[in-house]
Structure 1
Amino acid sequence: MQSVLSSQRMPLLLLGCALALCYKACGVTITTDNANVQAIEFEEAILSCKYTIEKDPNPRLEWKKLGQTHVSFVYYRGHLVGALKARAEMIDSSIRIKNVSRGDSGNYRCEVSAQGDTQVLAEALIHLKVLVAPGAPVCVVPISAMTGTVVELKCREEEGSPASQYRWFKDGTPLLETLTTHSKVRNSSYTINKKSGTLQFNTVAKADTGEYHCEAYNEIGQQKCAAKRMQVDDLNVSGIVAAVVVVALVIALCGLGVFYAQKKGYLSRQSSQKARTACKSARPKESDFKHTKSFVI
């Protein structure tokens, strides 16, 4: 019984598969040679789109760029439009960008609609990534530092795509991320973060005095900043102690002077004289007294 039912279902399954295949094959279809395109800035890029149709003699082809908040046309009604209008050309249904810019990066969609076909719409998504060499990095190097302190040197640039990584040089020699016994700066204690571009000395020493520069790099190129000198000096403990002693003596002498003046009564005499002067100035002169009508009987 089961074998009979199985034999009856088999033709139905085959028919369903055939219909599904026919639906896909008979409608409009789209393919792309490369769904993830990478191109160096100012060079060319091909956004590939190929389609087949069933019977519609006038299919409609459109290209769109998908932004984060809106969708804009790139190819519409048989013409290139927008930012690519003057920098691109159509090769059949594909787009050739003659010189890409970093603003061209993003997702593009090729759409073909054929109203007379069984499947009327098909689309392909292509991602374009424009590779950009780093710009000249900005380096922050302190002019001077005291031994034993924590010192951080900074390096940054914002143009590179993919994002730049960084390496530091002292007197033209690259600083290793991991110190070795053969390193020329093995007496130093530092940490390099190649992603953020920082060079941090945990306890800077006089041996760290020198000219430092940074280099930003990615797979497209590299750029460096001008070298800057950092001078590291010992902390002058004796000078600091002497300065503290001098300040303490000045404060003590001022305090003794005030105490002596109070003991001798200089401050009280001056205050009493000021009080007498204020009282005299407050009394009206007899010559200033004038009779008013209220005194007339």
Structure 2
Amino acid sequence: MTMMMFSLLLLLCIHCPVSMSVTVSSSKTKVEVHEHTDAVLSCDFRTEKDQNPRIEWKKKEKAVTFVYFNNKFIGSYAGRAKMEGAALTIHSVTQKDSGEYRCEVTASDDHVNFGEATVTLDVHGMRLSSTILVPPHIPSCEVPSSVFAGSDLELLCKDKQSVPPATYSWYKDNRALKVSSDAAYSMDARRGTLKFTSVSKVDSGMYRCESSNSVGAPKSCVAQQLKVIDYPVDITILIAGASGFVIVTLLCCICVCVCRRRGCREKKKTKSTKSYNPPPPPPPPPPPIHNIKTYKPTQSFMI
């Protein structure tokens, strides 16, 4: 009787289909690699019926962003990642690639049509003994938009994060600048400076700086426009005017000094303090005549 029951159950298992759903897993849920190496994020899946399920990769940061969507890579992953089945390979990873990645498989024909697996990626700087090596980062470049012709100029470039310290090279219109005896500029590869003693209009152009060291690929800042313009007036006129003003000022100072030594100020002061004598007043008018007796003859004489 027992053997008959077992046989019946075995026949039912053989003839009745087993209901399965899509399953997704990862053989390595935590991946640790060094910068500028390849990171492989594994994802294995099995479906019930769907032979062409939809595969997506997402990265969880402050928000969830797509890595692989609609059979193509998105954003910064385009051109530097590939898919093998459902496994994701990212080439030349940087520390910005660290984070939590999620493999999602959707099988629309299955009874349970969705499954996912999570893989954590940690990217570390390269180590040599006890020193952490850091590849070049995008340097900060200081290029003025305009400058007057004939003036001196210094362009600055700095990458503070690379270890060992980066060396720098400058490019004008995407052509590397080289130092020579007849060049109108000088460069310091350690400090990242590009100096002009007297710029001219031929120095106008698009300038960018590139930092590099022995760890990783060189990095460059965005090219910036430098325009060399003429002075609003001829520089010789300005120099002549300034020289004339200085000469006139010196002559005035010399004249004042000579005048003081000869006593010009004392003479003027003496002349100005001389007393003023007004003219004498007119004489007073004669007094009026009063009580004058008139002579009257008493006798007449006859000759």
Considering the TM-score relative to the shorter chain, is it more than 0.5?
A: no
Question: Relative to total residues, which structure has the larger helix share, 1 or 2?
Answer: 1
Q: Which of structures 1 and 2 has the bigger CA Rg? A: 2
| TM-score using structure 2 length | 0.36
Give the TM-score taking structure 1 as reference length: 0.37
